[in-house]
Amino acid sequence: MSTVLENLVNQPYQHGFVTAIEAETAPKGLNEDIIRLISSKKGEPEWLLEFRLKAYQHWLTMTPPQWANVQHTPVDFQAITYYAAPKQKKKLKSMDEVDPELLKTFEKLGVPMNERAALAGVAVDVIFDSVSVATTYKQKLADVGIIFCSISEAVREHPELVRKYLGSVVPVGDNYYAALNAAVFTDGSFCFIPKGVKCPMELSTYFRINTQDSGQFERTLIVAEDGASVSYLEGCTAPKFDTNQLHAAVVELVAMDNADIKYSTVQNWYAGDEKGVGGIYNFVTKRGLCRGVNSRISWTQVETGSAITWKYPSCVLRGDNSVGEFYSVALTNHYQQADTGTKMVHIGKNTGSTIVSKGISAGHSNNSYRGLVRIAPTASGARNYSQCDSMLIGQKCSANTFPYIDVRNPSGTVEHEATTSKIGEDQLFYFQSRGIGAEEAISMIINGFCKDVFQQLPMEFAVEATKLLGLKLEGSVG
């Protein structure tokens, strides 16, 4: 058992390469001048600068959260570069003008940029370090009235929309890292689906951290108007560096009456080596607001990377009959630490939520599920079902669950179940007696364990996620 496990655990990071592109970088450190610099570099309007400064002032009064079940050396916020952008000499007119080095990087990552994008049916708003370089399929989306662009572009082109919704779900002072993000965010995606429009394709953004020591502060805002629906994919890989990189993103989703937003993530950032050196600190605030009646927000995540993951995609179910969903697979290996889960806040009548969380820990890792289900006094007829299963591979890892359940309305029904298990010898024996090797058997068992979540992923992601788990655990059983 243990040798296969060990091999699996010792799988090197496959996306560890650095693209040599000259980056325009701001001096290290954080102060009002840096924020003004970011704002002026991006040619932002006055209100956005005020938004940033307000967030910064608030951030100064806050302290980093201590409650999560993770341990790390304190982040030195003055040692981080808050602005890094690939140098652009002139405006790019077509894909041919994009830096070939950059294109090669995407090639390695398998981003379907041009024809391949068309075949794959994916519009990719590529984020490279902090500035969007190329956006495809814009026209096709524009035809149906969908706005899908980088958030800086949205600030320029659609300031009234951004101003209306930015910070409406995650306020500037929401938490330490969200405040930091609000102060210094450099880019991200903006997506607006107008009334009654069903997005004709799955929208996707590949994030990539490139310049060493530059924290990524992405800001994503997705608004679905009445009756609109969209499926959004977020995939992440990052090159291999030894110093920890901070990633503090904020994602805001707004769903109006009868709107439907599905947000899927595959996160495979650098997790540090087998000794726990390096890796990304992934401190993310994701929240969706079901503002309208019958609206629905669904989060699906496959978290396999990052040294530390601190992430709670949440749903605030304000509209009557609105639905929130959270499907998660979190795999930790070596010295990775994950404290992840969700919050479902039921405010509207007859709101429903489903939580399915699968945690797999191997090596010396620490995997925690932390969740909150709150049924407000106004939320009559609310319904929640939660299931958190953990699987342990090896004896040095740990799995924890911290589910908070807070019910203030008697007509609500809340159910929570959790189990912990391991891969049974008898299960392995069964596979092997049928001629299936231990490693493949483990992979199949794990995939079976995660089935409920993978089913929620869009097709391409489901395939990728299945492979990813296999890779991550390769050689950890024997």
Partner 1 sequence: MTTVVDTPQWLATLRADGHALPQSPLAWLNERRAQALERANALSVPTTRDEEWRFTDLAPLRQFSLQRPPAARTITEADIALFNLPEAGARMVFVDGQFAPSLSHGVGALIGTSGGTSTGTSVSTLTDGLKSHGALLQQHLGVHAGFEQQVFPALNTAWLHGNNGALVVLGRNAVLEQPLHVLFVATQANIALCPRVLVVAESGAQGKLIEDYVSLTNGAYLANAVCEVSIAGNAEVHHVRLQRESLAATHIATTAVSLAKDARYRSQSVALGARLSRVNLDIRQAGEGADVELDGLALIGGEQVADTHSSVDHAFAHGRCRQMHKTIVGGAAHAVFNGKVLVREGAQLTNSAQQSRNLLVSPRARVDTKPQLEIFADDVKCAHGATVGQLDAEHLFYLKSRGLPEQQARNLLTYAFGAEVIQRIPVKSLVNRLQQTVLARVDAK
Site of interaction with partner 1 (CB under 8 A): 67, 375, 377, 390, 392-422
Q: Which of residues 22 and 406 has its CB atom nearest to partner 1 in the complex?
A: 406
Smallest distance, partner 1 to C-beta of residue 334, A: 16
Q: Which of residues 12 and 410 has its CB atom nearest to partner 1 in the complex?
A: 410
Q: Which of residues 256 and 399 has its CB atom nearest to partner 1 in the complex?
A: 399
Rounded Cα distance, 388 and 329, in Å: 10
Smallest distance, partner 1 to C-beta of residue 329, A: 18
Smallest distance, partner 1 to C-beta of residue 428, A: 13
Smallest distance, partner 1 to C-beta of residue 102, A: 44
Rounded Cα distance, 306 and 373, in Å: 26
Smallest distance, partner 1 to C-beta of residue 396, A: 8
In DSSP terms, 345 is beta-bridged to 316, 374
Smallest distance, partner 1 to C-beta of residue 327, A: 20
Smallest distance, partner 1 to C-beta of residue 285, A: 21
Q: Which of residues 88 and 421 has its CB atom nearest to partner 1 in the complex?
A: 421
Q: Which of residues 113 and 446 has its CB atom nearest to partner 1 in the complex?
A: 446
Rounded Cα distance, 220 and 222, in Å: 7
Q: Which of residues 402 and 431 has its CB atom nearest to partner 1 in the complex?
A: 402
Residue 54 phi/psi, 5-degree rounding, is -60, -45
Smallest distance, partner 1 to C-beta of residue 343, A: 14
Q: Which of residues 186 and 476 has its CB atom nearest to partner 1 in the complex?
A: 476
What sign results for the dihedral spanned by CA atoms 452, 453, 454, 455? positive
Q: Which single residue is written with the structure tokens 């956005």?
A: 48
Rounded Cα distance, 180 and 178, in Å: 5
Q: Which single residue is written with the structure tokens 């969740």?
A: 371
Q: How many CB atoms neighbour CB 14 within 10 A?
A: 12
Q: Which of residues 39 and 333 has its CB atom nearest to partner 1 in the complex?
A: 333
Alpha-carbon Rg for the chain, nearest whole angstrom, is 22
Smallest distance, partner 1 to C-beta of residue 399, A: 5
Q: How many CB atoms neighbour CB 442 within 10 A?
A: 28
Rounded Cα distance, 293 and 310, in Å: 30
Angle of helix 425-433 relative to helix 438-449, nearest 10 degrees, comes to 120
Span between the terminal Cα atoms of the chain, in Å: 4
Q: Which of residues 255 and 399 has its CB atom nearest to partner 1 in the complex?
A: 399
3-state secondary structure of 179: helix
Token pair, residue 296, equals 């629905």
Residue pair 321/350 in contact by the 8 Å Cβ criterion: yes
The bridge status of strand 202-208 relative to strand 122-128 is parallel
Smallest distance, partner 1 to C-beta of residue 337, A: 14
To which H or E segment does residue 473 belong? Answer: helix 459-473
Distant-in-sequence, close-in-space partners of 432: CB < 8 Å, separation ≥ 6: 438, 441
The bridge status of strand 131-135 relative to strand 122-128 is antiparallel
Q: Which of residues 292 and 363 has its CB atom nearest to partner 1 in the complex?
A: 363
Q: Which of residues 158 and 416 has its CB atom nearest to partner 1 in the complex?
A: 416
Residue pair 456/462 in contact by the 8 Å Cβ criterion: no
Smallest distance, partner 1 to C-beta of residue 420, A: 4
